[in-house]
Structures are given as C-alpha cells and as structure tokens.
Chains A and B, each alone.
Chain A
Amino acid sequence: MRTSPTLAALALASFLAPAANAAPVAFDASPEAPARRIVNVVFAQYLQERVGASIETAVLDLDGDGTGEIAVRFVHTGSCAEGLKKCRTAVIRHDAGEWRIVLDRHAESLDFGGPSGPLPGPLAVDGVTWRWGKGFAYAPDGKGLGTEVSFQAVPAASAQSYAAAFGEGAQRLAAGGHGVRISYSTDKVADGAETMLVKMEGGVSCGEATGCPVRLLRKDGDKWTPVLSTTTKGKLAVTDTVRAGYRDIVVETKLGYAVLGWNGNGYAVADRFESTVRGR
C-alpha cells in the first residue's frame, strides 16, 4: 500500500510526538469485558498455566483507525513481581489477519496520550516512552534509561595496549591498522574501585547483530581486569541503581536496551526494555 506524503508526515509527527499528554489506561477486570474473549484466545496457553489469574483489559485506539487495540494486564503470582505491583502487561493489535503482540512487559503503569496519526501513538510504560518501530511493534526510545557515558578517544600510540582488553585477536587487529578506534570513559561505575569503560569501533570491529565490543575494566593493584564483556549497538549508559557498589549499565541491543546489574561476581542481565519480535 502506498502512503501519501500527508500520511507520511502525520506518521512522522506521531513517531516524534512525546507521550506528554498521556493518561493512565483504565483497565477493566470484569469477566464480561468485551476484550476478554479475544484475550482468552490469544493468551490461552499462558492462562492455562496460571489458573485464577485476574485479567484486566482495556480497549484503546492506538492508531485512530476506529478499530480497537487491546491492552491486557495479568495479575497472578506467576505474572507479577514486587508484591503483585509489576505485572505482565501486553498490547495486542489486529494486523494482517491476526492478533499480534506489539508490546509485552512487566509493568506497574501504562499510559496512552491518544492517537496522533495513522501509526500507533506512543505509550508510556512505567515512565519510559515506547514508540511504534520498524518491526511493527513498540520499542523503547531509551530516554530516561540512565546517563549516557561520555567516551574519549584513546591516542593512536596507546590503542594497542587498550585493545588487549578485547583479546588477542583484537589486539592483532589494532596492530594491523584496519581502521580500529578505541575510546574510553572513566565515568563512575563502581564505588570504591577504579574502573574504566572501553569501547572498540571502526573497520570491522562491530557486527550487524551485536554492535561494538565494550569492556568494563577494574583496577586491581597495578593491573586492569575485565569485569564485563559486552556489546552495544549505540547507547551506553549508567543508571543510579547501585548493586553491591556497582551501578547498572545500559547497553543497546537490536531490539531495544538491556540493563546489566552486578550480581556479586559479575554483571548479568537485570532487565530488558526490548521490542517484542512478534509484531509481524
């Protein structure tokens, strides 16, 4: 289907519009709610495993086309965390002949500001804005997910020694030129320990699937020890959440963002803000 320039402009406006006027979505826990029948079918398997779950639904018109989309919240010990406050919350949309999950997340609140164009308008999930994305599903815009780390370039003369943090292959890669660029940041990540974030870019250092390699190094005596090996497709941020002295680190993935938290021995994925791949 061809999109007219006007529609395209509206779509862009919708995409860029913040969820400033968003209001909480009013869920209805009634078993007679019109959306319940559809939810019961789409989430049949999930509900079979959670007998007695309270199902709250709301009908929204995300894209202003007069056809409703459904927001659903499952309240059950097997669906919620933090004392039944954060529960699985999903949005389903009828598209290409079937109901598709376009947002799926454990959340405490869901806000919607109304449609502003032919594409579904933004949603606010626990204060984080999710916008309609290329994957025909919602993806977080990343704002509010920590403070972006400021990197500075490592001088060319020192690049090879920094490259050692990425392994022998990477070190040889840097030694051979190949357009490798290394940058570092000493932004505070850990309390009581000297740390440094190092990122490798340029040439073929980064991959389509993973992005660019990143290491968190900690100074132990006179040596720098890698305590986190990961990648980012773009953003790298630290949050105010501190676990055993280490701040959470946010990296960008192909589907959104992953939050890495210190588990006492190393960093592990603590949360994900990622688009569902089931949009279409």
Chain B
Amino acid sequence: MASGRFRFAVLMALAAAGFAVAGGAAQAASGPLSLAAFGRETGIRASAEQVQEAWAALESMGTTKYLGGMLGGLRLDESAMIAGVLSIGAGEFDALLNGGGLNTASTTAGTELVSAMTSAAGIDLSYLTGSYTEGGGGSVSARAASASGATAGAEACDAGVSSEMASNGKAYVDGIVQAAMSGEYGFSKIQDLNPTSGSGTGFAALGCLDKLFQNAGSDLLFKPPSLGSLTTQLQNWVCGEAASVAEQVAGAFGNGEIFNTASLGGFYPGANFGEAFDSNPNQRLGMGQKAADTFGQSFANFEKQAKAQVEAAADITRLFK
C-alpha cells in the first residue's frame, strides 16, 4: 500500500498551501458565528453537536496531544483538528497523525483534507471545545518574509526570547553531537549492542540515541539529519567512509552561527530542516548556487572541525572495537 507516500503528499501539500489564515479566523469571540465561519470556510456543514462529538472523540483517542504541534507547516489547533476528523473520520485522522497513512482509494481525499484543515485553522470554537489554541494555522508566506528579513511578523520572537531560543538550540545540537561521539552512548558502543539478546537488535537498538535527534518540540515533520540513515550507512560502509559520515554529523551545524537568527525575525523563521522539507524553496540549493547563496555567509563560513579532531572523535578502533 502506498499510504506512506500519500501521507507525505498530504503533508507536503499542507506545507505548500501557504496558509493564508482563514477569513473566519479573525473573529472577536467564539460563538455560533464561529461555527458558521467553520462551515463557510471548510464547506463542511457540521452542527454544534457534531463538532462537540468530534472534539470528544479526539480527547478519547488522546489525539489532542498534537494540539499546537506542526503538521507540514500548519500549526494544529482545535478547529483544524475537528476539520480533519470530519473530513476523514476520527480513527483515520488519529492514525494519520500517529504516522499511519491516508487509507483510502479516493483521489480527492488528500486535497479535501488539506483544504478543510487549512481553512478551519484559526477559527475559535472554544465555546464548543472549551479551549482555544493561539496561532493555529500559521503562515508559511509570512515566515518566508520574516526569514528574508523583510518584516518581523506576528510570529517573530522578541529579540531576547529569540536569543535565548538560539542559545538553547545550539546547546541542544551540541549535546546531540557529543552524545553521538561519546564512548558511553555513541557509535563506539555499536559493537556492544548484541543483536541476539534482549531487545537490543544491533543498530536498531540505537533507538534511544535516535530519539535524541527527534524534535522534542512542535513540528511533527522536523527531521534533523537522520541518525537512522547515517547509522545504516555506517553499518554498510567501509571504515574510512564511516569517519566521513561522522564528520558530517559533527560539521552539519557548523559553529552554531546558523542559530543566530534574531536579526531575521526569530529562531529558524520559516525554516524546516530535514528530509521531508527538501523541496522547501526557501532553502533549496538551485542549479549553480552555493550554500552561501541560500543560507547566507554565516552558514557558508562555518568553522569545520579540524581533521585530526574528527579522526579522533571517529576513531575507527573506538567505533568498531
């Protein structure tokens, strides 16, 4: 079944949709007018009872844990999630958010789901749900403008907050790199993972380390340079190449200059790293372009670790002792 591809397509469509926040989003207060706006924007004529039923279903399934999270650039709020339920059904929507596919033979379902969720986002249905998540929907285009330094939009952080987030982000990545290189958790322990005992299954048992690379934050699609794919490659490659991969891990984030985005309107404004966002036009390297053309000089001039440092960190004897 090609449901995975379907899910990816849905998510990319969400990312590409632009998310001009629905007209219904600009409401003074939640009430019957909000429900009317929901119907008008999404095309789904749902009664107050149906909306409440959808919300109750999300709560029962535990799907509300995704509130405030990012789905392909769309910040999930109550109304977007309710629109998702009413579009494809509660169980299917929960499965989709939990990493499943869109299980349908319908060719239009993905488009309709994306349209309904993006149109609904931002509409305050708190009089039916009891809660309202600020910032639902978001706007890719606004963030792109912010990233180019054009404006510090509503989403841009205060300079102090941004600086703090930048510093935390750098510390986070430094920690991950350190963990990957460490003798305690890192590649050097690979041989110690006995594939035949307990739950350890060789590289698969690096799940805990891989978790470190998963974004603990908000974007369901945030995929930092995949440790899974790197370790798979390490498993198959000769040792010389393994050192090169380790160097990529260590060098991918440079000296941290990339985190200094305060002047651009915030921490990673409009930026989404990872495989799922390879087609993001804001970051894609064009034909003949250099990294600096896309990311700016601060990225291009990052300080690579000296070869000796990398070799020491990725010492083959330690890696595969």
Contacts and interface: CB of A to CB of B under 8 A. Distances in A.
A210 B109 contact: yes
Nearest to B106: A253
Contacts of A169: 61-63, 90-91, 93-95, 98
Contact of B61 (A172, A255, A266, A267): A172
Interface stretch (B52-60, B153-161, B163-171, B238-246): B52-60
A163 B87 CA distance: 20
Interface in B96-119: 98, 100-109, 112-113, 116
B103 A178 contact: no
A200 B103 contact: no
A150 interface: no
A29 B201 CA distance: 66
Contacts of A277: 108
A206 B89 contact: yes
Given A203-B57, A231-B104, A209 B109 contact: yes
A203 B57 CA distance: 9
Nearest to A201: B89
Chain B binding surface SS class: helix
B314 to A, nearest CB: 40
A271 B86 CA distance: 27
B27 interface: no
Contacts of B60: 172-173, 175-176, 178
Nearest to B63: A169
A243 interface: no
Contacts of A203: 53, 57, 90
Given A229-B3, A231-B106, A266-B1, A213 B87 contact: no
A251 interface: yes
A173 B108 CA distance: 26
A167 B100 contact: yes
Contacts of B309: none
Interface residues of B, number: 38
A38 interface: no
A210 B1 contact: no
Contact of B104 (A163, A170, A230): A230
Contacts of B116: 208-209
A255 B107 CA distance: 9
Contacts of A208: 44, 86-87, 112, 116
A260 B104 CA distance: 11
Given A207-B85, A229-B103, A170 B91 contact: yes
Given A204-B50, A208-B87, A260 B100 contact: no
A212 B100 CA distance: 17
A58 B91 CA distance: 48
A251 B113 contact: no
Contacts of A255: 106-108
Q: Which of A206, A210, A229 has the most CB of B within 10 A?
A: A210
Contact of A210 (B54, B57, B89): B89
Given A178-B57, A203-B57, A173 B90 contact: yes
Contacts of B179: none
A175 B102 CA distance: 23
A84 interface: no
A207 B1 contact: no
Given A230-B104, A253-B106, A210 B88 contact: yes
A254 interface: yes
Contacts of A231: 88-89, 92, 103-106, 109
A258 interface: yes
A233 B186 CA distance: 51
Contacts of B102: 210
Interface in A98-127: none
A213 B92 contact: yes
A209 B112 contact: yes
A269 interface: yes
B105 A253 contact: yes
Contacts of A176: 56-57, 60
A256 B229 CA distance: 41
B1 A258 contact: no
Contacts of A211: 104, 106
A54 interface: no
Interface string A32-75: 00000000000000000000000000000000000000000000
A183 interface: no
Interface of A: 163, 166-170, 172-173, 175-176, 178-179, 200, 203-213, 229-231, 251, 253-255, 258, 260, 266-269, 272, 274, 277
Given A170-B94, A254-B108, 14 more contacts: A176-B56, A176-B57, A178-B53, A203-B53, A206-B89, A208-B87, A209-B109, A210-B109, A230-B105, A253-B106, A253-B108, A255-B107, A258-B105, A267-B1
Interface of B: 1-3, 44, 50, 53-54, 56-57, 60-63, 85-95, 98, 100-109, 112-113, 116
5 contacts: A169-B62, A170-B95, A204-B90, A208-B86, A209-B112
